[in-house]
Amino acid sequence: MTKETAEAHYAFRRPGGERLGASVRIVGGIVKGGLVLLTRRKWAGMRHVPLDGPAILVWNHYSDFDPLPVAHYVYNSGRHPRFLLKHSLLKIPVVGPIIKATGQIPVYRGSSDAADSLRTAIETLTAGGTVLIAPEGSVTKEPERWPMRGKTGVARLALTTGAPVIPIAQWGSLAIHDRNRRPKFRLGLRKPVTVVAGPPVDLSRWQGAEINRESLTAATDAVMEALRAGVAELRGEQPPPLFDLREHKKHQREESEPTE
């Protein structure tokens, strides 16, 4: 058994991690049971997830299903999988109450409540908890499902709190769910899903400096480049430059404009 395999903790949580409430343990057990039936896990790098203290865990988001393998991995690493997620999920029957009961952090975009999620995340980290963020803010729009440029919220959290940012690269969930395919879900034989945590992203050059648009953008790019490198290793492919959705849309508009 290799060191990485010994650290995987496929069946049980790593000892010495956070204490979890009854709601989290019950929901965690149900989710784990379902994933054991749907996925064949290949995990590594769990040693990079600290057992205690604040940690920002970032992951590449390419399928509507992929948060579940990430949650399973983080749960078994000994930490509470506490996601920043869309507030609209609170309105879904059954799912909404579960989100509230398990301490997830809803994000209210474009409203007067938008700052509340950031404050809650800061409070969680200050208290020594974990926060899981998909920095892209949605499923990637990059045509080949590579990570795209992220939103700067993750950098603001990291530079404000000093919490380490741990990149979690994953691949395999498209075999189970792909929003661009019909049917979207494909169940059946267990599908291989790989989840690997890497070492903390080096953000030291921006720590202690003024937090402004330039530093936030640069720190965010560093986080996304670390995620991209992890995904490239899992896929065994050379990654493209970070996909910029705004520039892509701007280019599409320019191409669609009639020429004189």
Q: Are 119 and 161 in contact (CB under 8 A)?
A: no
pLDDT at 112: 60
d(Cα 227, Cα 222) in Å, to the nearest integer?
Answer: 9
d(Cα 242, Cα 148) in Å, to the nearest integer?
Answer: 5
d(Cα 55, Cα 217) in Å, to the nearest integer?
Answer: 20
The list of the chain residues with pLDDT below 70 reads 1-7, 110-114, 257-260
Q: What are phi and psi of 167, to 5 degrees?
A: -80, 135
pLDDT at 1: 45
The number of angstroms, rounded, from the C-alpha of 131 to the middle of its chain's C-alpha atoms is: 9
Whole-angstrom CA distances from 73 to 12, 19, 126 are 10, 16, 23
| Residue boundaries of the structural domains of the chain | 3-256
* pTM of the predicted structure, to 2 decimals: 0.91
pLDDT at 188: 80
For the domain 3-256, what is the CATH code? 3.40.1130
- Look at residues 108, 114, 155, 132 and name the one whose alpha carbon lies nearest to residue 54: 132
